[in-house]
Amino acid sequence: MSLVVSHLHKKYGSNTVVEDLSFTMERPGVYALLGTNGAGKTTSIRMMLGMLAKDGGEVLWNGTPLTTENCNIGYLAEERGLYPKYTLMDQLIYFASLRGVPREEAKSRIRKLAKRLEVEEYLYPNAFAPSASMLGQKKKAFTFGGSRVKTAKPKLAEQLSKGNQQKIQFMTALLSDPELIVLDEPLSGLDPVNTDLIRDVIRDEIAAGKYLIMSSHQMATVEEFCTDITILDRSRAVLQGNLNDIKKSYGRVHLHLKCEADARPYIEAAGIGIDSEKENEYELKVSGQEQAAGLLSALMAAGVPIVTYDLREPSLHEIFVEKVGEEHAHEA
């Protein structure tokens, strides 16, 4: 299976919102679409999924135009919500049915995902209390231990916290057991516990050989999962390729140094630029391994106690900021 996006183009009047976007996913994994706000990520995704008409280009899945008929797609939109007044179970079954999942199968998948994402108590409120059905009574209120107990009503979406709503929305993307999963900002607004829950599920999907396209501002998350990236800026792709290759091309030029004494004179003497400094802890930009080694020798010779010496490739965050900054500076 493969996903080929070639020369996607979209204009609104004279305003170009996506310009000649192309990329390919030859094997399962995660492809990251990164970009500043308004760079054209969501529009590109909408065009890829056929929700917006393209002005040019094509999207192929196994050589044929990508549609919901020839590819089982799961989509978590950036703009996401739920019907506030409807019960969660009704909504999930409805969304599954639109993706062609039979009712019973949908129920079984909902149960599994609910357990995985720890939202069972909202979908099966009676499972967390002695229920009428357990006692063989089909009533809204029943007697338990001599007292009258009301069965819990199914939860409405509006009764859930934002984080829990987001987990339900995430479930909708996976209900059809999709082969291509598109996640637009999947972790935004989640607390660390829920972030970890969703990260675990994403890891499972990757392990299951799914194709994932992920758009996010959280570079650390993207970096953790993705193999290939496209950085969009002002509707154009400004950097594309395999993340490891991109990092290698930048070289190991970032030095994290922590000493027990002031190292500034030695850094300046070596002609190294300081990106940031805090209590004898420095983020340095070196020209290469030799310059870094020179600084290390000087510090050791001077007897400056070194706590941390980490010469590394740039992070995705640093690449992103540098690349987008370069583009803006270039245009200015």
Partner 1 sequence: MKPDAFTGTGKVFRFTLAQMLKSKANRRALIIVFLIALLSSPLFSLIQGGSGSGSSVSVIYVQNQTSLSLNGLRDYLAEEGFGDVTVKTDLPEDLKNEAALRLARTAAGLQVEIIGSTERSYYAAEAAASYLRRQLLLEAGVSQEDTKLLQPAGTDIVYASDPVSPAPQGAAPAADGSGISDEPTEVPSESGLSGAYTVQLGFSVLLIMISMISVSFVIRSVIEEKTSKLVDLLLVSVKPGALLLGKVLASLLYSLLYFSLMLCGAVLSLKIFGLFMDLSGVTDYLSNILKLDLAPDVLLVLLVSSLLGLLIFGILSGLSGAGCSSVEESGGAMSLCMLLIMGGYMVSIFSMITGVPESGTATVLSIIPVLSMFTAPTLYMYGAVSIGTIAIGWLAELVLAFLLILLAGRVYSSLIIYKGKRLGFGQILRLAAGKEAGK
Q: Which residues bind partner 1 (CB under 8 A)?
A: 12-13, 15, 17, 43, 46, 49-53, 68-69, 73, 75, 77-86, 90, 94-95, 97-99, 169, 172
CB of 4 to partner 1, least distance (A): 19
Residue 318: closest CA among 37, 34, 45, 39? 34
Q: How many CB atoms are located within 10 Å of the residue 289 CB? A: 13
Q: Is the Cβ of residue 58 or residue 313 nearer to partner 1 in the bound state?
A: 58
3-state secondary structure of 329: helix
CB of 171 to partner 1, least distance (A): 11
CB of 69 to partner 1, least distance (A): 7
Which token pair is 327?
Answer: 């583009």
Q: Is the Cβ of residue 40 or residue 314 nearer to partner 1 in the bound state?
A: 40
Q: Is the Cβ of residue 50 or residue 163 nearer to partner 1 in the bound state?
A: 50
Cα 330 to Cα 269, 277, 325: the distances in Å are 31, 28, 8
Q: Is the Cβ of residue 3 or residue 239 nearer to partner 1 in the bound state?
A: 3
Residue 73: closest CA among 194, 224, 212? 212
Residue 254: closest CA among 308, 306, 315, 304? 315
CB of 50 to partner 1, least distance (A): 8
Which run of H or E residues covers position 165? Answer: helix 162-174
Residue entry with tokens 């004279």: 14
Outline where 15-118 has alpha helix (H): 41-48, 88-98, 103-116
Cα angle at 307 between 303 and 313, to 5 degrees?
Answer: 115
Q: Would strands 211-215 and 29-35 be described as parallel, antiparallel, or unpaired?
A: parallel
Cα distance between residue 237 and residue 151, in whole Å: 55
User: Got the DSSP string for 248-292?
Assistant: HHH-S-EEEEEESS--HHHHHHTTPEEEEEETTEEEEE-SSHHHH
Q: Is the Cβ of residue 12 or residue 147 nearer to partner 1 in the bound state?
A: 12
CB of 224 to partner 1, least distance (A): 25
Q: Is the Cβ of residue 52 or residue 129 nearer to partner 1 in the bound state?
A: 52
CB of 232 to partner 1, least distance (A): 16
Radius of gyration for the chain, computed over Cα atoms and rounded to the nearest angstrom: 26
CB of 49 to partner 1, least distance (A): 5
Q: Is the Cβ of residue 172 or residue 291 nearer to partner 1 in the bound state?
A: 172
CB of 40 to partner 1, least distance (A): 11
Q: Is the Cβ of residue 2 or residue 70 nearer to partner 1 in the bound state?
A: 70
Residue 74: closest CA among 215, 177, 165? 177
